[in-house]
Amino acid sequence: ATNASFPNPIIHLQHDLLAESVETVPAVIDVIRSKGYNLVSLEECLWGPDPDPVPASLAFARQDCPLDDPPTGDVDCVVSGWSVWSGCPKPCGAGERNRTRFVVRPASGTGTCDVPLVEMEACPP
C-alpha cells in the first residue's frame, strides 16, 4: 500500500512466533527496510498518521509461522516470491530491468540453493 505520508510502499509486519523466536525479528526488519519499505504500526497502516474516517489504501498479508522444529536432513532452500520489476532506466524500451527475491530458509545437509535471486529482462518497448 502507499500513503501520501510515506514516499515508499508501507508494510505492517505481523509476527506470530513464540517469544523464544523473537530474535529473528531484527533480521526480518533489516531485509524489509533494505527492499525500500517503511514499517508502520497496524493502526497507522489502516488509518494513516492522522486518523480520519477513511482508511488509507491497504495491502495487508498475514502468514502464520509454523512452530514445528525446522526440517532436518537434506533439504533445499526456500526462497521468497519475486519482487516487482524495477523501473526501466531509459525511455522507449531501452535498457534492462530486474526483480529480486531472497532466501527465506537456507538449505541444510546436502540440500542445494541453486536458484537465481535476481532475474533480468529487456525493458518492454
Query: 5-49: per-residue pLDDT in tens?
Result: 545 554 555 544 444 445 556 676 677 777 766 666 655 555 555
Together in a domain, 20 and 53:
yes
Spell 30-69 as b/e; 16+ CB within 10 A means b.
Answer: eeeeeeebbebeeebbebbeeeeeeebeeeeeeeeeeeee
Which residue segment(s) compose the domain that 90 sits in? 70-125
| CATH assignment at residue 86 | 2.20.100
* C-alpha neighbours within 13 Å on the C-beta side of residue 118: 5
- Entry pTM: 0.44
Together in a domain, 74 and 57:
no
